[in-house]
Structure 1
């Protein structure tokens, strides 16, 4: 009956000890519980906890272990002499090395029990040593197994978290892991992805009408502002007409003088044969002066430049042109249809991919980062030309998808150009391999 009561008391003590183990917040606190509060489960006089890598971690009756103390050093030799312990067992001093067995009676009672503290998730081996004067019973050995499992679970729960890189190194040390990693990398490298490249782009007009300077001169004033809608015949800008008016007045005066001289020659030719010859010369001079007057009048009429079609005036700033000297044929502004726009991209030579008409393009405007427009490639320039940023690039023309809202004319942003599918390894190493090839030659 006493044995049954002792077993019941041990189980009750095990339940109470479980609460203390769960309340422990560190391995040191758990070690104190293991060597001092397990008396409620198994009676003993002395106890010691040993952990692989740390040595003697806790000793009953003392708040802190002094590793230089003779008793602690002897315990360390004892635990090292035990080797692996897989189940609770009673220690026999006769089976221990002579150096340990000779000092047994100096440090411990005769009967000692050692139990492993197994950690389900793995970890350093831990042993708990209990010693007393009375022999250990078989029922106590079974209870010791449960006690060791409880304390081992607590040690695993409170273990220091291993760094991620250490776990990776430990995984790589396993030979089977290499094959799995190599297979996973091969599968990832062969995943097909869409080959793409980024290029700056701008929304430009389709078939724009370029308004040029009709003659050499100085722009007097612009009659429109940027992005202003204009109708056919609307005045766009004026050239300074001061010089042209002077030329026209001079040509007109010369024409009137030649006309008077011709009239006098015609009157004298009636009676004088010599005047008939002069009349022919005067007639030619009068015709030349008439041509000069007509030319001056035509130039004077062209100082006012008018729109030849409906559209929106596209240029940067009025002040950029007011008072500026221009030559004949110089571009001043563009008349564009806001409903007819296309995407013009500039693909750098270093990012060149095999684009073909019909390839997909996605345009991301800078003014609206959460908006995207879809288009298809219409043409790619055969030869690369320098851009305004002095970057050698291919000009790419793309038409926006039908049925979608068109972006605003002049909008700038970034376009992503797609050119079919390739393995992921090719997509990742395309630029490094191209640079390496240029470096190696």
Structure 2
């Protein structure tokens, strides 16, 4: 008995060595169904492959099995039944016609001997042996050890199961798995609100632009950025050297015209010629008075004051002092901090169908825990290049009155909500857009 066991172990080692030497899955399948007879006595053997497709890959005594043969078609049903009933964790299983359903049991004796042994090869398939005598425990142990070696050899040559086979196997593994598969499909069509992000800034809703009243050079800026001012407070002034000189010259010309008119008026009493020049002197006096008055008003206009209460908005007064400006050039903005709105720039690449009345949420950069609700008022029909050199659509939104308003000039990110769309479209919108641009649909 001991000699027989030693001989069996030697044959087992030889077969494992032969399996490692095989040059492909086809050669390995031939070794499994034919040379296994050196270790185990059987009449028929078949190798069931679960690679890219489930099929009977090798049969004992046949070099090239015909898949259309009735025997192979019956074996396909048998292996499909055993694969469904048994788990890959089960190493072996003894079976006969009595353990089969009626459809298989009725034809068992026509195709196979009485006793069969199913050996698992893991995810790569199974090896089936059949003979007339029952299988002993010792033979089953040897067969399981040999099948384990065959499985290791198949891991090198057998093709991997693709995702379709894995998905089909998962669906066939339980009664409720198909129902669970419907859950993500339903989630994909769950309606969600389409939203896009845009760079945003809190701006005054009724700004008053303080412009340069004359062409000249700014002499002094008398306020600081974001300083509150009252009506009549001085804001900035232009250099008055030129205008003051013109005003002084106009005054002297007016005095000279007045003195000339007085002399002509005295001489007109006795001289008719001076009476004629009196009317011309009066016209010159009125013209010089008008010029002097205009020059005086120009000097007053050089000093700009706040026409109402508010906050002055500009960058830095050092940037403006000594700067030459033209007539009507913007210097600063006078804004009411209690009347603000939201300006956002929506990139042209992220543009979606937005309409006035759509909800907007501002997430300020300076206070990440706060958010402000607003309503879209208008959106530009044409994209423009903004300060960031980005082609974008300008949007204006009005803050809801039931909340505390954000600070003027606050920057942040605005989320603008559009229509409801399926979740799958919301997630795949950007990839589909990129694919369409790349493929040229």
TM-score bracket for the superposition, by shorter chain length: 0.5 to 0.7
Asked if structure 2 preserves the Cα contact closer than 8 Å seen for 1:117 and 1:148, the reply is no
**Scaled by the length of structure 2, what TM-score is found?**
0.65
**Displacement of 1:321 after TM fit?**
1.0
Q: Cα 1:152–1:292, aligned 2, differ >3 Å: closer, same or farther?
A: same
Q: Using the alignment, how far apart are the partners of 1:305 and 1:50 within structure 2?
A: 109
Instruction: Tell me if 1:289 matches 2:288.
Output: yes
Asked if structure 1 preserves the Cα contact closer than 8 Å seen for 2:40 and 2:143, the reply is no
**Displacement of 1:418 after TM fit?**
0.9
Q: Using the alignment, how far apart are the partners of 1:406 and 1:55 within structure 2?
A: 85
Q: Using the alignment, how far apart are the partners of 2:119 and 2:40 within structure 1?
A: 18
The residue aligned with 2:243 is 244
Asked if structure 1 preserves the Cα contact closer than 8 Å seen for 2:40 and 2:139, the reply is no
Equivalent pairs counted in the alignment come to: 356
Asked if structure 2 preserves the Cα contact closer than 8 Å seen for 1:266 and 1:275, the reply is yes
Unmatched 5+ residue regions in structure 2? 23-27, 46-59, 62-115, 173-177
Instruction: Tell me if 1:219 matches 2:218.
Output: yes
Q: Using the alignment, how far apart are the partners of 1:400 and 1:142 within structure 2?
A: 82
What root-mean-square deviation, in Å, do the aligned CA atoms of Structure 1 and Structure 2 show? 4.9
Unmatched 5+ residue regions in structure 1? 1-38, 60-64, 69-74, 98-114, 129-136
Q: Using the alignment, how far apart are the partners of 2:32 and 2:413 within structure 1?
A: 70
The residue aligned with 1:45 is 6
Q: Using the alignment, how far apart are the partners of 1:371 and 1:425 within structure 2?
A: 30
**Scaled by the length of structure 1, what TM-score is found?**
0.65
Q: Cα 1:224–1:124, aligned 2, differ >3 Å: closer, same or farther?
A: same
Asked if structure 2 preserves the Cα contact closer than 8 Å seen for 1:219 and 1:321, the reply is yes
Q: Using the alignment, how far apart are the partners of 2:389 and 2:43 within structure 1?
A: 89
**Displacement of 1:379 after TM fit?**
2.1
The residue aligned with 2:41 is 91
**Displacement of 1:349 after TM fit?**
3.7
Asked if structure 2 preserves the Cα contact closer than 8 Å seen for 1:224 and 1:236, the reply is yes
1:170 pairs, out of 165, 169, 173, with 165
Q: After superposing the two structures, state which structure 1 stretch, 281-290 or 364-373, moved more.
A: 364-373
Q: Using the alignment, how far apart are the partners of 2:168 and 2:313 within structure 1?
A: 67
Q: Cα 1:220–1:55, aligned 2, differ >3 Å: closer, same or farther?
A: farther
Provide, for residues 174-232 of structure 1, a one-character-per-residue CA deviation record: whole Å limited to 9, x for no partner.
Answer: 7979xx79978864553322222222211111211211112221100111121122222
Q: Using the alignment, how far apart are the partners of 2:381 and 2:418 within structure 1?
A: 17
Q: Using the alignment, how far apart are the partners of 2:187 and 2:216 within structure 1?
A: 66
Provide, for residues 344-398 of structure 1, a one-character-per-residue CA deviation record: whole Å limited to 9, x for no partner.
Answer: 1122344332222321112233445554332221222344443234444332111
Q: Using the alignment, how far apart are the partners of 1:262 and 1:438 within structure 2?
A: 87
2:136 pairs, out of 132, 141, 144, with 141
The residue aligned with 1:132 is none
1:81 pairs, out of 34, 37, 40, with 34
Asked if structure 2 preserves the Cα contact closer than 8 Å seen for 1:50 and 1:127, the reply is no
Q: Using the alignment, how far apart are the partners of 2:11 and 2:5 within structure 1?
A: 17
Q: Using the alignment, how far apart are the partners of 2:379 and 2:227 within structure 1?
A: 31
Q: Using the alignment, how far apart are the partners of 2:14 and 2:400 within structure 1?
A: 74
